[in-house]
């Protein structure tokens, strides 16, 4: 992470596993569990924004939309890797959305993939 974003980076993160936030003081895009989120975080609206984002097939348009969601940019995606799909909760992204022109992608243990949005 530090190589891609710098030592003091605090990327807005969409993570399928919230244990990360116990170790790193990074802002999360939204809570995984709707019932764990405060009503002021607009969980349902953020979920809708993520569903819309996941439906964008064009990698260039996807990267632009990820940088400009209604609730701010998503700098880092931490997703569960499955056959042909990367998942956050019930939202399914496609690996082809995360092209090298816009994202640095790394595969981690335990069927986890990270995609760091390039900010240029």
The model's pLDDT over 14-32, given as tens digits with 9 standing for 90+, comes to 999 988 888 888 888 888 8
Rounded Cα distance between 4 and 28, Å, is 18
70: exposed, middle or buried (Cβ count in 10 Å: 0-12, 13-18, 19+) = exposed
**What pLDDT, on a 0 to 100 scale, did the predictor assign at position 85?**
98
What is the distance between the alpha carbons of residues 20 and 14, in angstroms, rounded to a whole number? 11
Domain count, the chain: 1
Question: Is residue 7 in a domain?
Answer: no
Residue 106 located in a structural domain? yes
pLDDT at 88: 98
In a domain? residue 24:
yes
pLDDT of residue 3: 59
Give the containing element (helix H, strand E) for 25. none
Region label for 63, one of left (φ > 0), alpha (ψ between -120 and 50) or beta (otherwise): alpha
Tell me what pLDDT residue 37 has: 78
Domain holding 108, by residue range, is 13-32+40-117
Query: Within the chain, how many helices (H) and strands (E) appear?
Result: 3, 6
Q: Tell me the pTM.
A: 0.91
Residue 114 burial (CB count, 10 A): 21
Cα 54 from Cα 109, distance rounded (Å):
23
pLDDT reported for residue 7: 63
Give the per-residue pLDDT at 111: 97
The span from the CA of 15 to the CA of 86, in Å, is 11
Inside any domain, residue 53: yes
Low-confidence ranges of the chain (pLDDT < 50): none
């Amino acid at each position: 992470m530090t190589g891609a974003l710098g030592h003091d980076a605090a990327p807005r993160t969409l993570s399928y596993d919230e244990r990360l936030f116990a170790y790193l003081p990074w802002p999360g895009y939204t809570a995984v569990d709707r019932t764990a989120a405060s009503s002021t975080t607009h969980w349902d609206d953020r979920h809708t924004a993520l569903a819309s984002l996941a439906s964008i097939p064009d990698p260039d348009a996807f990267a632009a939309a990820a940088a400009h969601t209604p609730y701010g940019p998503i700098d880092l995606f931490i997703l569960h890797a499955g056959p042909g799909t990367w998942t956050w909760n019930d939202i399914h992204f496609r690996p082809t959305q995360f092209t090298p022109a816009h994202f640095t992608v790394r595969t981690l243990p335990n069927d986890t993939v990270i995609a760091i949005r390039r900010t240029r």
